[in-house]
A = this chain, B = another copy of it.
């Protein structure tokens, strides 16, 4: 478990070469939107000269932040960055060769490098030597904890509420929903947090474990341990979900989260209009998303194999809606279809959805 990065006051430049604003840059966008440390630039030479807001819409945390072509440009900023964050999350996590130069330039300038890639930058002799030469640090967020323990069947502490976001696919907002629900809970005066289980969440919150890199035997034990730590820090814990229970590549991780966190409730996240698992469209029928009501019931049955849990609300990603009216219509339709409180907490804020979760649990 990594701790203490929160409030360290990094000034961040995010590497998102060739992908900023696209699907592959979700880590970059997550940190820009939710991170506590300031982002001073985004590197994407194909989009240099524009600003972050051109791609993400206006936002108080990143208005005016430039997209630049490389490390060189960032050095002449009024407040140059002290940390390069590798803001990409490709399937498999491999490092594109062309990014080596940028990383080496950052290390040569004395910047720390923070990476969520499956390939550990700190194990690369060239990167390690460059970091040593400048006293810079390489942080590989995906490096699993030394701790290798199986789950023991721990019970939640009294008064703690653990809510897991599950979903119909990857990359549709399970982390954002957890963040928005935690923020809504805090607005109501609750001690609440988002428990990060992926590299973007870790970059935002400054702790957590990238659970998809943990060995199978220890996924559930690690989630049990993280949940215990979260219960020390807060009363309402919104766990960042991963993958989906029907995902041909990632379902093992999803089930490990369900059975490892033993949530008191789940929130189902879905993007109306998405019909196929993203990036697996060519796999045919096995990549088709499942109808929501049946999929929700199956989550409850599967969770109950270890501990009873209900899906108490649906969080929609309505980004494919043409306008707000269309988004509201999607929400109404899914609420009718599932019989569950439904909202888009990203578009409309998490207050109503949190109220529904709270009503179901208290």
Interface residues of A (CB under 8 A from B): 91-94, 118, 144, 148-153, 211-217, 219-221, 245-253, 255-256, 259-260, 262, 280, 282-284, 286-287, 290, 298, 301-302, 305-307
Q: How far is the CA of A104 from the CA of B217 in the complex (A)?
A: 28
Q: Which of B213, B217, B302 meets A250, CB within 8 Å? A: B217
A221's nearest neighbour on chain B, judged by CB, is B249
A149 & B290 in contact (Cβ 8 Å cutoff): no
What is the total number of copies of this protein in its complex? 2
Nearest Cβ on chain B to A64's Cβ, whole angstroms = 36
B216 & A253 in contact (Cβ 8 Å cutoff): yes
Nearest Cβ on chain B to A21's Cβ, whole angstroms = 24
Q: How far is the CA of A217 from the CA of B221 in the complex (A)?
A: 16
Q: How far is the CA of A24 from the CA of B302 in the complex (A)?
A: 29
B216 & A92 in contact (Cβ 8 Å cutoff): no
Q: How far is the CA of A230 from the CA of B149 in the complex (A)?
A: 31
A211's nearest neighbour on chain B, judged by CB, is B216
B256 & A252 in contact (Cβ 8 Å cutoff): yes
Q: How far is the CA of A153 from the CA of B92 in the complex (A)?
A: 15
Point out the residues of chain B lying under 8 angstroms from A301, CB to CB: 298, 301
A244's nearest neighbour on chain B, judged by CB, is B305
Point out the residues of chain B lying under 8 angstroms from A262, CB to CB: 248, 286
Tell whether A284 pairs with B217 under 8 Å between CB atoms, given A255-B252, A259-B251, A306-B248.
no
Of A245, A248, A253, A255, which is in contact with the most chain B CB atoms at under 10 Å from its CB? A248
Q: How far is the CA of A144 from the CA of B283 in the complex (A)?
A: 26
B153 & A284 in contact (Cβ 8 Å cutoff): yes
Tell whether A212 pairs with B215 under 8 Å between CB atoms, given A153-B248, A305-B251.
yes
Q: Which of B215, B250, B256, B287 meets A251, CB within 8 Å? A: B256
B256 & A216 in contact (Cβ 8 Å cutoff): yes
Nearest Cβ on chain B to A82's Cβ, whole angstroms = 30
Point out the residues of chain B lying under 8 angstroms from A290, CB to CB: 305
A217 & B148 in contact (Cβ 8 Å cutoff): no
Nearest Cβ on chain B to A41's Cβ, whole angstroms = 30
Which 3 A-B residue pairings sit nearest by Cβ, starting from the closest? A153-B283, A252-B256, A246-B305
Q: How far is the CA of A245 from the CA of B305 in the complex (A)?
A: 8
